[in-house]
Amino acid sequence: MLSRILVPMDNSDPAGRALAYALDNHPDAEVTVLHVVGVPSMMMGEAVGLTLEDDLDAAAAERAAPVFERAREVADEQGREIETVVGIGHPARNVIDRADEYDAVVIGAHGADRERVTHRFLVGNVAETVSKRAPVPVTIVR
């Protein structure tokens, strides 16, 4: 039985479905939603923007707020509570680095950046990378 589940989320529909799946299929587990900001890109846009902020943690939390709001809506629909945590940097690396604190990872098949070819070329598919490298079982939700 799983007692702690990590659900990486962005604003994509698959990420929302992954959270709903985790909450529905693991009713007794503590669910933590992770949103990673400062994603690397060809021009380093978001990552550079964060480094220019006076308060990095506050800026990251502000950027994560809409994702966490959506996550809480999904959890409320199922009468559940969730924990939230903000990561900074590369999404797959953040998930893999935190995964050993959990019993499993439940992740959406594609994120919000799935249509950006440059993103896929530079950093690869997050779900694929996590499934190959995470030290715990990974469920990919379509």
Average pLDDT value over all residues in the chain: 86
Q: Is the pLDDT of residue 92 over 60?
A: yes
pLDDT score for 38: 73
Structure tokens at 19: 């959270």
* 3-state secondary structure string across the chain: CCCEEEEECCCCHHHHHHHHHHHHHCCCCEEEEEEEECCCCCCCHHHHHHHCCCCHHHHHHHHHHHHHHHHHHHHHHCCCCCEEEEEECCHHHHHHHHHCCCCEEEEECCCCCCCCHHHHHHHCCHHHHHHHHCCCCEEEEC
pLDDT score for 41: 54
Amino acid letter at 61? A
pLDDT score for 22: 98
| Structural domains present in the chain | 4-123 (3.40.50.620)
Q: Is the pLDDT of residue 113 over 70?
A: no
Alpha-carbon span 126 to 103, nearest angstrom: 19
pLDDT score for 120: 47
